[in-house]
Amino acid sequence: MYNEKVLEIFANPRNVGEIENADGVGTVGNASCGDIMKVYLKIENDVIVDAKFKTFGCAAAIASSSVATEMIKGKTIEEALKIRNADVVEQLEGLPPQKIHCSVLAEEAIAAAIENYRSKQK
């Protein structure tokens, strides 16, 4: 079902874990499959200097978390918010149609973590 790239990343995901005293934390879930993704961000001057994740979910969700956290490192929060699930799928060189929602979780978890960061700035 999965391509080689997804399987390779699933077997060796980057950025697994949590960041102590993270500046932004976002947790999202998909009600239909029950999978949960939590993203931790370290942010300095609105630039994401570190990102980690914990995902309780399928191989596509874990691979999506890995590439999404890689993609946002070094980006400003504005740039990170522009990353769509389609960009995550492209990095993964494709996902099966029934697994597209797993990449949506990554987009949503990043947005939730940034929202959490912004709410703390106020």
Q: What residue spans of 45-96 are helical by DSSP H? A: 59-72, 77-81, 85-91
**58 in catalytic set:** no
CA–chain centroid gap for 3, Å, is: 19
- Least Cβ distance, residue 14 to ligand FES (angstroms): 18
User: Which member of 14, 25, 30, 33 is catalytic?
Assistant: 33
Q: What's the number of CA atoms in the CB half-sphere (13 Å) around residue 43?
A: 24
Phi, psi of 13 (to 5 degrees): -70, 145
Establish if 102 lies at the interface with ligand FES (CB under 6 A): yes
Strand locations in the chain (E): 24-29, 36-44, 47-56
Q: By CB under 6 A, which span of 43-51, 81-89, 100-108, 110-118 interacts with ligand FES?
A: 100-108
Of the residues 72, 80, 105, 109, which one makes contact with ligand FES according to CB under 6 A: 105
Of the residues 22, 43, 60, 113, which one makes contact with ligand FES according to CB under 6 A: 60
Residues of the shown chain interacting with ligand FES in the complex, contacts defined by CB under 6 A: 30, 33, 35, 57-58, 60-61, 99, 101-102, 105
